[in-house]
Amino acid sequence: MEIIPIIEKDELATLLGGDEFGNISCSTRLKIEKLETVFEKLVEPSLYHQNTGIDSVEKGTVHLEEGPEFKSPKLSKMLKGCDDIICYIATLGDGIEGEIKRLMGKKHMAEAYILDAMASVATDNMVATFHRRMKDEYKNQGKQVTLCFSPGYCDWPITEQKKLFNLLDSQDVDVELNDSCLMTPRKSISGVFGIQSDYENGKTPYNPCWDCNKTDCPARRAPEREKEKV
């Protein structure tokens, strides 16, 4: 699937230690403007996804029709009641990573740091755009989708990454796993979300952040008051 990533400026500012883009220093904004041209030339975004049926969900394990089992109590709770699961891998390609390394080799550390942050925001944006498209598509079919969940997130072991990759055609996916189950290119994200047809209209899908007390987590997706919806 082709998705052109967008660098959300306020999100970038937050990642760089600010609160909104208009409040970061003029010198940083100038560096970002110059690096945007570099980013556009080097980025090679691609997103791969696969729909797989869910056989059953029980005792902290998601049994898929294709055979693999995902083991995570929170993932299982999120996917309970779902009929299918969408597995995805999004990447910006290796061009950006090469430029970050080149800048570091030239001791241009500020530029390397900013470009790295830009790539992180862009990768997140790719996944958010894909998820939003799927949400709208399935809403038109009278279905809803869950939040995204990635290996290494919450209680889902990073080693489960191998199972997720095995569900996708490895010849089509230009992303590799190392022995530690980390991805190359580095600016890549993998994950899953569920599709539910039998649900109470208007009810918010389960959010694992509701059951987590780590309120300072940068990936947190739920204010405290949302626990009341469970």
Domain annotation covers residue 62: yes
| Residue 140: φ, ψ to 5° | -65, -20
CA atoms within 13 A on the CB side of 161: 20
Q: 108: pLDDT confidence band, cut at 50, 70 and 90?
A: very high
Domain annotation covers residue 180: yes
The yes-or-no verdict on residue 228 having pLDDT over 80 is no
Q: What is the CATH number of the domain that holds 75?
A: 3.40.109.40
- Tell me what percent of the residues of the chain surpass a pLDDT of 70: 90
H/E element holding 63?
strand 61-64
User: For the whole model, what pTM was predicted?
Assistant: 0.88
Domain annotation covers residue 187: yes
pLDDT tens by residue, 52-99: 999 999 989 999 997 789 999 999 999 998 999 999 999 999 999 999
* Count of the separate structural domains present in the chain: 1
**In the numeric block, which tokens belong to residue 29?**
């904004």
Q: 31: pLDDT confidence band, cut at 50, 70 and 90?
A: very high
Residue position matching structure tokens 């980013």: 39
H helices present in 67-190, as ranges = 73-79, 95-105, 109-139, 161-166
Least confident of 60-64, 90-94, 150-154, 168-172: 168-172
- Amino acid 227: pLDDT: 41
pLDDT tens by residue, 187-220: 999 999 999 987 766 677 777 777 777 766 666 6
> Is 150 exposed, middle or buried (CB count within 10 Å of its CB: 0-12, 13-18, 19+)?
buried
Distance CA 213, CA 228 (A): 14
Residues in contact with 158: Cβ distance below 8 Å, sequence separation at least 6, in sequence order = 151, 152, 180, 181, 182
**Contact status, residue 167 vs residue 52, Cβ threshold 8 Å:** yes
Measuring CA to CA, how many Å separate 8 from each of 18, 38, 77, 118, 156? 13, 17, 31, 9, 28
Domain annotation covers residue 26: no
The yes-or-no verdict on residue 44 having pLDDT over 90 is yes
DSSP 20: S
Find the domain containing 145 and state its range.
Answer: 45-92+122-229
Domain annotation covers residue 207: yes
Domain annotation covers residue 114: no
**Contact status, residue 14 vs residue 3, Cβ threshold 8 Å:** no
- Amino acid 221: pLDDT: 67
